[in-house]
């Protein structure tokens, strides 16, 4: 079943076209990496899907509903959760308070309270370190732990799809491994659909799944990450030679 469908999506900033006619059909339970060099338009595309950046053309459907031009909170309510670049946590709040902010949108009724408690338990199950440190200030966490916290916060909204922008940025490789191990487990155990942006194709090749390579706002390659990863076309896309 198609969960997310993009048809000819474009994003412009004034005269600059950051994303040009991108079409992607993402199936439920899939893991999709969007890779590509600096300025390829990856983050702009993610923000456009989340409703944070307006589209300049094309349309976007989530779970069969048209979401083009809808408010970010409406899109989130349908089950699309975005973890933006930069892992912003509320540094002076505790880890648990940060997670409860994620649950904010449906925690007001009595029934919702029980639900929030079980969602919290489930996040702690995924990331035991967050449980251990739940009463500490989030600002004191390491980069990897903060990444786990923002993913945990996204999980609190019970999403069907999580879109994450550069989860490995600035993390040591072994810490990135831990983050990915949890993401892959979420995908296989809960049928969570993952849309992950990474500059490098290396992680996609390691984890597997589908990979799209963007360059200058457009999709240049789309296929199986492991197959594509070893192809010369990937090198060409990063380094800019034309394919012969």
Ligand X SMILES: Nc1ncnc2c1ncn2[C@@H]1O[C@H](COP(=O)(O)OP(=O)(O)OP(=O)(O)O)[C@@H](O)[C@H]1O
Of 1, 15, 38, 92, the one binding ligand X by CB under 6 A: 38
Return the closest-CA partner of residue 95 out of 124, 125, 123, 137: 137
Among positions 188-207, residues that touch ligand X (CB under 6 A) are 199
> In the window 128-157, what residues touch Mg ion (CB under 5 A)?
none
Of residues 5, 43, 55, 98, which one binds Mg ion by CB under 5 A? 43
Name residue, tokens 């799809």.
161
Of 233, 215, 163, 164, which Cα lies nearest the Cα of 224? 233
What's the rounded Cα separation, in Å, for the pair 169 and 26? 24
Residue 13 binding: pick among ligand X, Mg ion, none (C-beta 5-8 Å cut-off by kind): ligand X
42 sits near ligand X (criterion: CB under 6 A): yes
| DSSP code of residue 231 | S
Give me the least distance between CB of 220 and ligand X, in Å please.
Answer: 13
- Residue 121 CB, shortest distance to ligand X, in Å, is 34
Which of ligand X, Mg ion, none lies near 203, with the C-beta cut-off 5 to 8 A by kind? none
**Is 163 one of the binding residues for ligand X (CB under 6 A)?**
no
Which residues have CB under 8 Å from 211's CB, separation 6+? 32, 33, 34, 35, 201, 204, 205, 221, 222, 223, 224, 225, 228, 229
Give residue for tokens 């993009």: 6
How many other C-beta atoms can be found within 10 angstroms of the C-beta atom of residue 197? 24
Q: How many residues bind ligand X (CB under 6 A)?
A: 12
| 13 lines the binding site for ligand X (CB under 6 A) | yes
Summarize as ranges the residues that interact with ligand X (CB under 6 A): 13, 16, 18, 36, 38-44, 199
Summarize as ranges the residues that interact with Mg ion (CB under 5 A): 43
């Amino acid at each position: 079943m198609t969960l997310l469908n993009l048809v000819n999506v474009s994003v412009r900033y004034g005269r600059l076209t950051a994303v040009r006619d991108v079409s992607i059909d993402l199936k439920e339970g899939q893991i999709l990496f969007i890779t590509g060099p600096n300025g390829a338009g990856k983050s702009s595309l993610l923000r456009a899907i989340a409703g944070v950046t307006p589209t300049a053309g094309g349309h976007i459907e989530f779970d069969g509903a048209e979401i083009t031009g809808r408010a970010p909170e409406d899109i989130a309510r349908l089950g699309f959760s975005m973890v933006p670049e930069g892992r912003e946590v509320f540094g002076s709040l505790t880890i648990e308070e940060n997670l409860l902010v994620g649950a904010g949108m449906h925690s007001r009724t009595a029934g919702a309270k029980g639900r929030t408690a079980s969602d919290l338990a489930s996040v702690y199950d995924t990331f035991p370190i967050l449980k251990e440190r739940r009463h500490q200030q989030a600002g004191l966490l390491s980069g990897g732990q903060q990444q786990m916290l923002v993913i945990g916060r996204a999980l609190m909204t019970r999403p069907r799809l999580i879109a994450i922008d550069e989860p490995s940025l600035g993390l040591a490789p072994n810490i990135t491994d831990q983050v990915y191990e949890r993401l892959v487990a979420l995908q296989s155990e809960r049928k969570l659909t993952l849309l992950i942006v990474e500059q490098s194709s290396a992680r996609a090749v390691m984890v597997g799944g589908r990979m799209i390579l963007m360059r200058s706002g457009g999709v240049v390659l789309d296929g199986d990450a492991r197959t594509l990863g070893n192809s010369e076309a990937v090198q060409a896309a990063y380094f800019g030679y034309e394919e012969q």
